Amino acid sequence: MGEMYETDYPIYEYSLSDLETIEEIIDKELERKGYIKPTEEEFASKINNIFGRIINYTSDKDFLLINFSDKCSKELMFLRNEDSGLYSTYIFKRGLFISDLYSVPEVFDYSKYPQFVKFEDSVIQNRKDKDLKIYYWKDVVNSKQRKENTDKLVYRNKFLFNDNRSSFRWLCLNDEFFLTSLVLTFGYVEDKELNKYVLEKQLAGEISEFGKAFWHQGCDGKLFFHNQMIDIIKQFSIEKQKEYLKAISSYIRFLVNDKNLPFSQKAEILGKLCYYAEKIGKPIDMGFKYFYILETESSGDIYEEEFKKKEYYNIPDFKKVWEYTRTIIPHSKNNEILFSKKVDINKDGIEDRIIAYNPENDLFATIKIVLSDKGKEKLFFNTKMLSNNITSEEGFRNISFKGHFFTIEENVSSDILQYTTFSIDSKTNNIFLYKLEYSNISDNGYDDEYSDLIYTQKDFGKVSFENYDPETLRLFNF
């Protein structure tokens, strides 16, 4: 038989017996470190509140798996966090604690017990089958790693089941993933210090993860909104509140376009986030920035219908705040909304809506039109017509309406006015470019080659509102 390598031997597979073996060891370590066991009722209640798992003490199952990758899974698997790529921990129902799956030497310093060391040495010296793979404890873990393992399981249990604040502070410094998962994965928001810790950690992270701090979905599909996080933000300084409101605004824009949630749940999250952000923002000059996103990024009427259906989530002044802030031009130093008006554009007797606004961190303004269309709404967007990157002498001036036409007026230089006129097709309710007009407003007394230039569909063909881009059309060369 040739030389055998490590990879030639089967990998040790953990099983129920490994959990049973380490239970007594962990139990004694917890007792030695001052862990006070809760009653069975207290332990079951905590486990349900934190992880959403129900413990049945009449069942013969002594262990439950908490799967951080699939919180609703109840399958008992034997997963080592370092091997599986998935994170999990276990509920020891009889022991009244939680722990990851460890091998004995990862939590038990057997080197302090000579009889164990002597026994293992004798096995090594006297083994007859040299090709048989034996997993020796001495090869498993060093003392530093063992201490980290035992510290982690002790401080997790003392924090969760003894409300030990020094343990919480240790976890903040050494076990961020576990703490943030309690909130972001399992939706546990009953600890104010934990809520604050998670919010602060997520503020500088991915905006999609930041948003998870404000809601979670139960395993039955039910939505839970975290008012507790709103209460935390209210307690911050004004400058810190502004930071959080900016992040909430970004998350609202993200969620409006997210397709993964049922609309009713998405509307509830957005509605409540916008409402509370408006309430927090108004006294600190950060109001009128949230509900209007539902108007500009989508159709406000579909949210109005859902809000009304849900009786405005039983929040007394929700309806008032929504109606007052949804289309009003915000008092903003950045003048985010350039124009907002309700007007019957297609002349069907029903008010339509048009709004021009500057999205954050965008080189172009957006023009959004919502037309009534046989009892429904038809949305139109253009994101290339108006430049955001302009001098003080350039930019948007006004939008005027006449018959089935509307005209966007802008300064394209200090002396040049451009009028972009669109027409509405009364049969299809589509919008097309009708006319481009250029006018020189300079009073320098000289003739100008661009004075009173007009282009029509004979020059540029049929161009839809949404496809109109002055850069690609290039009729004017200023």
pLDDT at 61: 92
> Quick check: 381 and 366 in contact, CB under 8 A?
yes
Q: Which residues of 277-305 are buried (b: 16+ CB within 10 A; e: fewer)?
A: bbbbbeeeebbbbbbbbbbbbbbbbebbe
Confirm whether pTM is higher than 0.85: no
Q: Which residue has the tokens 């600890």?
A: 191
What DSSP string runs through 342-366? EE-SS-SSS-EEEEEE--TT-SB-E
Question: Which of 393, 381, 399, 475 is CA-nearest to residue 437?
Answer: 475
What distance in Å separates the CA atoms of residue 323 and residue 477, rounded to the nearest whole number? 43
| Residue with token string 């309700």 | 342
Q: How far is CA 334 from CA 176, 331, 360, in A?
A: 37, 9, 9
CB of 295 closer than 8 Å to CB of 353: yes
Of the segments 333-342, 348-357, 423-432, 434-443, which one has the largest average pLDDT value?
423-432
- Return the pLDDT at 126: 46
Q: What is the pLDDT of residues 230-258, one digit of tens each?
A: 999 999 999 999 999 999 999 999 999 88
Mean pLDDT (whole number) for 345-351: 91
* pLDDT digits 0-9 by tens, 426-453: 889 999 999 999 887 655 544 455 457 8
- Give the mean pLDDT of 453-471: 89
How far apart are alpha carbons 242 and 284 in whole angstroms? 8
Helix axes 227-234, 192-203, angle to 10 degrees: 80
Span 36-41, average pLDDT: 97
Q: Decide: residue 250, CB within 10 A, 0-12 exposed, 13-18 middle, 19+ buried.
A: middle
3-state secondary structure of 216: strand
Whole-angstrom distance, CA of residue 218 vs CA of residue 71: 9
Which of 253, 232, 256 lies closest to 244, judged by CA? Answer: 232
How far apart CA 377 and CA 374 sit, in angstroms, is 8
Question: What pLDDT is attached to residue 360?
Answer: 61
364-409 per-position pLDDT tens digit: 888 889 888 877 778 888 888 887 655 555 778 889 999 999 999 9
Q: How far apart are CA 101 and CA 79, in angstroms?
A: 7
Query: 125 is written with which tokens?
Result: 């010296």
Q: What is the pLDDT of residue 442?
A: 58
Please report the pLDDT score of residue 452 as a whole number: 72
Nearby residues of 291 by Cβ (< 8 Å), 6 or more positions away: 274, 275, 278, 321, 322, 325, 326
DSSP codes of every residue in 320-342: HHHHHHSSSPP--TT--EEEEEE
Domain extent listing, the chain: 3-183, 189-328, 335-477
Question: Tokens 């939008």 label which residue?
Answer: 399
Cα 122 from Cα 292, distance rounded (Å)? 76
Question: Is pLDDT of 313 > 70?
Answer: yes
Give me the pLDDT at residue 142, please: 67
Cβ-contact 296, 336 below 8 angstroms: no
Looking at this protein, which amino acid is placed at residue 184?
A: L
8-32 in b/e form (b: 16+ CB < 10 A) is: eeeeeebeeebbeebbebbbebbee
